[in-house]
Amino acid sequence: GALANGAFAGVSPDGTLYVTSAHMLANLFSIIGPRAGGPGAVGGATAGLFETATGTAVAGSDIAAGAMMAMFSPDSAHIAFTDLAIDTGRGIAVMDFDMAQRKASGYRQIYATGDAARYPGWPFYLPDNNALVFTIGAAPDFSGLGVGVIAGSPVIGAPVTDLFFVDVVGG
């Protein structure tokens, strides 16, 4: 069956594993983490590692519980993600990943906004594994804040979102 927090999963380059996104209900009106299924839809509280073919959870993977929008490096040796544990989703972390052992280790925070109104998200490894590109936006659910496009009309209410790069080794 479908996983409650299976949306926006990070799939390993070989397609055998995926990491789900954590979510947090901050209050009745605020969700921290990417939503699936529209307003009010919240997935599981913690991230996890799963087998793609069966949907079976991989026990003892040590994936950070607050991982959101995880991304494997092209060589599968690392995972990058926005982490709920960094100022409630305002930072990016990386971990080493051993495909044979199916285990993460070496947690390192590499970026934090230091700003209550800015959320870094959607980290993506560059092909050489040495840097990440990511966005910084204003929405705690990492959305476009309800931006809509109506046929024949301009985009309404588009939020500011910028792209950033960060060196994985040096931060």
State how far the Cα of 18 lies from the Cα of 11, in Å rounded to an integer: 4
pLDDT at residue 90, as a whole number: 93
State how far the Cα of 83 lies from the Cα of 90, in Å rounded to an integer: 7
pLDDT at residue 3, as a whole number: 58
Residue 105: HSE in the Cβ half-sphere, 13 Å Cα cutoff: 5
pLDDT at residue 39, as a whole number: 47
In the predicted model, residues of the chain with pLDDT beneath 70 are 1-6, 25-32, 34-44, 145-159
State how far the Cα of 129 lies from the Cα of 97, in Å rounded to an integer: 13
pLDDT at residue 139, as a whole number: 80
Alpha helices in the chain (DSSP H): none
pTM of the predicted structure, to 2 decimals: 0.85
